Structure 1
Amino acid sequence: MLRSKQPKITFISMNSANIHQEAPRVEVIIETPRGSFLKRRSTGELDFISPVPCPFNYGSISAFTGLDGDLLDAVVLGPRLPAGTLVRVHARGAIRMIDQGMYDDKLICSRSPISPWQQRLILLFFMIYAKAKSLINLARGHRGRNNCEGWHDAEDALARATLRANADRKGTSIT
């Protein structure tokens, strides 16, 4: 009987030497408010209806395109923000995801540093999310592997993304 190989999960602690560096600041437009059951794309189109509410404010960074060709994804920790809100916040880390065989990094953003236990909870969420996304993609007839590859530096995700020349920054701005 063949056993499937367990994915290697990388976890970078916020207690590492780079904690003293200023986290990069990004502008995130909120597409899916915390607590929403409706997951929307950056175009506003409904992506799917979730059986559980989203635990984060979920959005994108219009200044960058991710490796999957879509706007770079970001979650913003903290209180619920209305859809369409443009928030300037620090990118504290990134979750490296694979969706349909393509890298799909998720920047993890917050106003204050993220504790190691918060990192573990966020990572656990995205590990479960990767499994759920596999089922969604299967139902849609999409092929390709889905996986969560762990916590990484925000700078790595930003360096892998492509800077867009004419980024649209629509929404109600808060800092």
Structure 2
Amino acid sequence: MICSVNNNIKRFKKLVFIILIVLQSCAKEKEIYYLPTQVSENSFNAVIEIPAGTNKKYEYDKESKSFIIDKKDGKERIIDFLPYPGNYGFIPSTYSDPKTGGDGDALDVLVLSEYVPTGSVLEIKPIAILKLIDNGEIDYKIIAIPSNVKQQIINVNNYNDLANRFPEVKTIIELWFLNYNKTDTATIEGWGDDKMALIEINKSKS
């Protein structure tokens, strides 16, 4: 009788332990989309979906709370072009409102740095905004660098630095977004500086 009670207690403790692990895991996954937008005055969080150099279009699925390869017509979306020129993802707790022409998703960000794994949360510094219109929807892209100097690969602090020192980088980014998706119709309205990028982020906070 005592042995049976002890076994039941052990099974109960094991079950409680498993439930706690699952709940902690779910809470962690749930929080990633709703992390704080801002870290400090000019630093923000970015959730990386697609690492630099990747040609598979990963995205964060809010329902399953996991990173999956996006599908179109039942097929995985593989970039039939050069791979992503930076680490691509979103700025958490932001929302591009369809009522004002947005696509209904979090604000996109392209972080210029070496490969960062899918699911990483990176502290970034916005330096520009690419004003992209995709299939008639506003699809602005925040261009950023890591806040951590050791993770930076180009010596820029703002839009003027980017435009003056690395105009070719702007050209590469433009050409990539205009050509990576053969089925969409994309146009570029122009560029905005780091101040405009900050305005767009603050406007999109959900």
Residues in 2 aligned to 1:95 and 1:149: alpha-carbon distance in whole angstroms: 8
Residues in 1 aligned to 2:173 and 2:114: alpha-carbon distance in whole angstroms: 18
Within the candidate set 107, 115, 118, 2:166 is matched to 118
Secondary structure in structure 1 of the residue aligned to 2:94: strand
**Amino acid of the residue matched to residue 49 of structure 1?**
I
Residues in 2 aligned to 1:128 and 1:83: alpha-carbon distance in whole angstroms: 20
CA contact (8 A) 2:87 2:110 kept: yes
**Amino acid of the residue matched to residue 173 of structure 2?**
F
Structure 2 unmatched runs, 5+: 1-39, 62-66, 71-76, 97-101, 147-155
Q: TM-score, normalised by structure 2?
A: 0.58
Instruction: Tell me the C-alpha RMSD between the 2 structures.
Output: 2.3
Within the candidate set 104, 108, 116, 1:81 is matched to 116
Closer/same/farther in 2, CA of residues 83 and 25 from structure 1, 3 Å limit:
same
Residue aligning to 1:56: 86
Number of residues of Structure 1 aligned to a counterpart in Structure 2: 134
Closer/same/farther in 2, CA of residues 78 and 69 from structure 1, 3 Å limit:
same
More RCO (CA 8 Å, sep 6+): 1
CA contact (8 A) 1:35 1:53 kept: yes
Residues in 1 aligned to 2:183 and 2:69: alpha-carbon distance in whole angstroms: 14
Within the candidate set 44, 68, 73, 1:45 is matched to 68
Q: Which structure has the highest helix share of the two? A: 2
In the TM superposition, residue 119 of structure 1 has moved relative to its aligned partner by: 4.7
Structure 1 unmatched runs, 5+: 1-21, 138-144, 165-175
In the TM superposition, residue 156 of structure 1 has moved relative to its aligned partner by: 3.6
Report the identity percentage. Answer: 25
Q: Which structure has the highest strand share of the two? A: 1
In the TM superposition, residue 147 of structure 1 has moved relative to its aligned partner by: 0.7
Residues in 2 aligned to 1:127 and 1:23: alpha-carbon distance in whole angstroms: 32
Residues in 2 aligned to 1:46 and 1:97: alpha-carbon distance in whole angstroms: 23
Within the candidate set 87, 97, 101, 2:136 is matched to 101
Residue aligning to 1:142: none
Q: TM-score, normalised by structure 1?
A: 0.67
